[in-house]
Amino acid sequence: MSTTTNKGNKFANAGAAAGGFVGAMGGSFVPPVNITVNRTTNGVPAQGGRPHTEALLPAPEFTSPAQVRNYCNSLRAAAVTLSIEVAMGAEILKGVLAAVPDPQGRAFGSRVRAQKVARKMNKAADALRDAAKNAAACYSAFQQEYEEEINRVRHRARKPQQPTINWAQQ
């Protein structure tokens, strides 16, 4: 396995580790999961209501390279976080559904059914991980395609002024 494959699968492995914990208990034990989200806007806690995409991503204003970088980094961070959450959710779902008896009484039938259901959620986690990769690749492509324009402005930027010694002040 190459190192890039190991890096790409580290989020999937986190979900598999949690599934191993659930599966080790015979599928009859599901740990309680409580998630608390405290959202603040400019230092003020948000009042109730339906969350919007602005909660995860900045406004899509692309008037400077810094805004492109900020948007891509925010998207990447949100997608990575969500991919981990969804992978964990898939493993927990699989553990819970595996505890439901198979109606035909087949051996391992409940596990097979649970795996079929959880497979779709695992695909969603994979898609989110791919979205994170693509967000990083987007900024990289932006830098490559607009390198000339970025460098043209970068060279015109004012150089930081060196502090000068005031010899008159003693």
Instruction: Note the pLDDT tens digit of each residue in 102-117.
Output: 888 777 888 898 999 8
The tokens describing 135, both together, are 């967000």
Per DSSP, the three-state class of 44 is: strand
Q: Strand 44-45 vs strand 40-41: parallel, antiparallel, or unpaired?
A: antiparallel
Question: CA dist 168 to 48, 56, 107, 162, 164, Å?
Answer: 61, 54, 92, 18, 12
The pLDDT mean for the chain works out to 74
The pTM score is 0.56
Over residues 16-31, mean pLDDT: 47
Res 148: pLDDT: 82
Dump pLDDT digits (tens) for 43-97. Answer: 544 454 445 545 778 888 888 888 888 899 999 999 999 999 999 999 999 999 9
Compute the distance between CA of residue 90 and CA of residue 133 in angstroms, rounded to an integer. 21
pLDDT score, position 157 = 56
Torsion sign over Cα 85, 91, 96, 97 = positive
